[in-house]
Amino acid sequence: MNGGDIRPLALLDRDGTIIAERHYLSDPADVELLPGAAAAITALGDAGFAVAVVSNQSGIARGYYGWSDVERCNARMSELLAEEGAAVDGIFVCPHHPDEGCACRKPAPGLAREALAALGGDPLRCIVVGDKDCDMGLGEAVGATTVLVRTGYGAETERLGMVSPDFVIDDLRGLQQLLERLSVPGAARL
Q: Name the catalytic one among 5, 15, 27, 135.
A: 15
CA–CA gap between residue 170 and residue 49 (Å, rounded): 21
- The single-letter code of the amino acid at 139 is G
Q: Is 38 within 8 Å of 28 (Cβ atoms)?
A: no
Task: Give catalytic status of residue 30 as yes or no.
Answer: no
Task: Give catalytic status of residue 135 as yes or no.
Answer: no
Q: Is 52 within 8 Å of 91 (Cβ atoms)?
A: yes
**Alpha-carbon torsion angle 157, 158, 161, 164, nearest 10:** 100
Closest CA to 82 of 42, 51, 115: 42
Q: Name the catalytic one among 13, 69, 89, 131.
A: 13
Alpha helices in the chain (DSSP H): 37-46, 67-83, 110-119, 133-142, 154-159, 173-182
Residues serving a catalytic function are 13, 15
